[in-house]
Chain A
Amino acid sequence: MTDDTLLKTPLYDLHVAQGGKMVPFAGYSMPVQYPLGIMKEHEFTREKAGLFDVSHMGQCFIHSKDGSDPAAAIEKLMPGALQVLKPGKMRYTLLLNEDGGIEDDLMVTRTHDADGKLYVVVNAACKDKDYDILEEKLGHLITVEPLEDRGLIALQGPRAVAVLAELAPEVADLGFMEATAVTLEGVVCWVSRSGYTGEDGYEISVPESEAKALAERLLRSGDVELIGLGARDSLRLEAGLCLSGHDFDATISPVEAGVTFALGKKRREDGDFAGAARILKELSEGPSKVRVGLKPAGRAPAREGTPIADADGNEIGIVTSGGFGPTVGGPVAMGFVPTAFADEGTEVQLMIRGKAHAAVVAKTPFIEQRYVRKKSILSLDLWRIGP
């Protein structure tokens, strides 16, 4: 794809003006880094607040065609408890195929609208595929309304709350995985307390015509810097979060991918979602392979595609995400190994450029996640535990 055919987000001019190094990503021209550099951008996000343009991701509304709950329809393809979502509550879930493989991961939020319509955010590289699947499988029940005229800005890091609360104090009251309409600089935005960096923060859906002005207003704070895709990837990797199409794909089940927290308890009992036969079998009998964290002993990063070998040198798996973790201060990776090798501390070898490098299976996240946790311990972290 040539530069001419790449799509531009509403923040494109801002990226270029700020010295962003633009690269093709999922059909868009996106900044991989700014003059600050990936290392400092990563560290800044963990210390202050990073502003990420995630406008390339797919935003849509899902409406019911007959007035029933649209969540009941999409639950056929998604294993999370979605019908129980109250207005303003959101959940991480998965789009499954009939074989129990993961087509994509996504965020589903119940809006405050009387018809219970859902606001959904999907991965940029998958949005056309996801919309096609929803249309093909569920088109008789629901309507997918892509929101092409909105930007999406993520503000992530320990200073995110203080910075955004300057514009709208009520955002401080949102709990993790809660969302609401908020007026920012005179513009009605849809703000959620969520993100994909392991840090506290927000994602802000804003009309595209207002996105640049809002980003510029947030950047006026000394606690906010623009952060590119490079640091976004190292932040999510350290946080142990899966990258769609890399750490899972359409052949990998939620059990193999280690995202069973996305399988609602009652949903498991009912087994009424695509691929349930395989997924429930793997839950009871264990999968043959599973995604694990990997901590190389040395300094060499193990990138995606690096073979994983046992102590005797027999190839047993493959790295699906890997690189250098700036906060960890060394290389970190994730990959698939047979279940017998999945215990924390298991010694393996990473075959980097044909040479064996020692590593151990490590727990993820590699860093402490710092999502805000209000209310009692019983209701904390709806994302990871589920109902």
Chain B
Amino acid sequence: MIKFTEEHEWLEVEGDVATVGITDYAQNALGDVVFVELPEVGATYDKGDEVAVVESVKAASEVYAPLAGEIVEVNEALEGEPALVNTAALDAGWFFKMKLADVGDLDDLMDETAYNEFVEGLD
């Protein structure tokens, strides 16, 4: 199951763990990513908390927790190769894995069709 937020994050969910990254729309808007600051494994966040920072050549942007939960893994490959966020936003460019506090919260997020419509409405 894949879900999306209005902050242009995607969540791929297996059981109660969501792999989280930013969408192709987001990476394209940011431009060349040169640095990603990732959270600590074990840290817990509420929905909307600032979890990570993604920096392009021109600016830094926050990544917010899409739902409440605990960080169980981060993508260390981004330290050496932050450009993965541009080249593989939806797979190798993932940011972190989060154990969701309540899987039921996923119902509040958009599915792929709804997200695509949301993005079309932005331009």
Contact A324 B55 (CB under 8 A): yes
CB of A303 within 8 Å of the partner chain: yes
**Residues on the B chain within 8 Å of A326, using CB:** 57
CB of B105 within 8 Å of the partner chain: no
Contact A300 B31 (CB under 8 A): no
Contact A301 B60 (CB under 8 A): yes
The total of chain B residues at the interface (CB under 8 A) is 14
**Residues on the B chain within 8 Å of A40, using CB:** 32
**Residues on the A chain within 8 Å of B37, using CB:** 300, 353
Check A39/B35 contact, CB under 8 A, given A299-B79, A299-B82: no
Contact B31 A301 (CB under 8 A): no
Check A37/B55 contact, CB under 8 A, given A300-B37, A303-B60: no
Chain A minimum-CB-distance residue to B79: A299
The answer for the CA separation of A71 and B14 in the assembled complex, in Å, is 73
Task: Give the shortest distance, in Å, between B63 (CB) and chain A (any CB).
Answer: 13
The total of chain A residues at the interface (CB under 8 A) is 20
Contact A33 B55 (CB under 8 A): no
B57 touches which one: A38, A299, A300, A353 (CB < 8 A)?
Answer: A38
Contact A37 B35 (CB under 8 A): no
Per-residue CB contact flags for chain A residues 352-363 toward chain B (1 = under 8 Å, else 0) read: 010000000000
B35 touches which one: A231, A233, A299 (CB < 8 A)?
Answer: A299
CB of B84 within 8 Å of the partner chain: no
Contact A234 B57 (CB under 8 A): yes
**Residues on the A chain within 8 Å of B34, using CB:** 39, 299, 301, 324, 331
Task: Give the shortest distance, in Å, between A43 (CB) and chain B (any CB).
Answer: 10
CB of A146 within 8 Å of the partner chain: no
**Residues on the B chain within 8 Å of A387, using CB:** none
The answer for the CA separation of A230 and B34 in the assembled complex, in Å, is 14
The answer for the CA separation of A326 and B79 in the assembled complex, in Å, is 16
**Residues on the B chain within 8 Å of A331, using CB:** 34-35
B58 touches which one: A32, A299, A300, A353 (CB < 8 A)?
Answer: A32
**Residues on the B chain within 8 Å of A301, using CB:** 34-35, 55, 60
CB of A323 within 8 Å of the partner chain: yes
**Residues on the A chain within 8 Å of B35, using CB:** 299-301, 324, 331
The answer for the CA separation of A120 and B35 in the assembled complex, in Å, is 39
Main DSSP-derived SS at the A contact region = mixed
The answer for the CA separation of A314 and B31 in the assembled complex, in Å, is 35
Per-residue CB contact flags for chain A residues 24-67 toward chain B (1 = under 8 Å, else 0) read: 00000000110001111010000000000000000000000000
Contact A230 B53 (CB under 8 A): no
Chain B minimum-CB-distance residue to A229: B58
The answer for the CA separation of A39 and B58 in the assembled complex, in Å, is 10
Check A38/B55 contact, CB under 8 A, given A300-B35, A324-B34: no
Task: Give the shortest distance, in Å, between B56 (CB) and chain A (any CB).
Answer: 7
Contact A39 B60 (CB under 8 A): no
**Residues on the A chain within 8 Å of B79, using CB:** 299
Check A38/B53 contact, CB under 8 A, given A299-B79, A300-B37, A353-B37: no
The answer for the CA separation of A40 and B82 in the assembled complex, in Å, is 16
Check A230/B82 contact, CB under 8 A, given A37-B31, A37-B32, A353-B53: no
**Residues on the B chain within 8 Å of A299, using CB:** 34-35, 79, 82
From 22 to 42 in chain B, residues with beta carbon under 8 angstroms from any chain A beta carbon are 31-32, 34-35, 37
From 10 to 68 in chain B, residues with beta carbon under 8 angstroms from any chain A beta carbon are 31-32, 34-35, 37, 53, 55-60
Task: Give the shortest distance, in Å, between A39 (CB) and chain B (any CB).
Answer: 4
Chain A minimum-CB-distance residue to B34: A324
**Residues on the A chain within 8 Å of B58, using CB:** 32-33, 38, 230, 233, 323
The answer for the CA separation of A339 and B56 in the assembled complex, in Å, is 32
B31 touches which one: A33, A233, A303, A353 (CB < 8 A)?
Answer: A33
Task: Give the shortest distance, in Å, between B7 (CB) and chain A (any CB).
Answer: 18
Chain A minimum-CB-distance residue to B83: A39
Task: Give the shortest distance, in Å, between B32 (CB) and chain A (any CB).
Answer: 4
Task: Give the shortest distance, in Å, between B83 (CB) and chain A (any CB).
Answer: 9
Per-residue CB contact flags for chain A residues 296-330 toward chain B (1 = under 8 Å, else 0) read: 00011101000000000000000000011010000
Chain A minimum-CB-distance residue to B56: A38
Chain A minimum-CB-distance residue to B29: A21
Contact B60 A324 (CB under 8 A): no
Task: Give the shortest distance, in Å, between B110 (CB) and chain A (any CB).
Answer: 26
Given A33-B31, A37-B31, A301-B34, 4 more pairs with CB closer than 8 A = A233-B58, A299-B34, A300-B37, A303-B60
The 5 closest A-B pairs by CB, nearest first: A39-B32, A324-B34, A38-B57, A230-B58, A324-B57
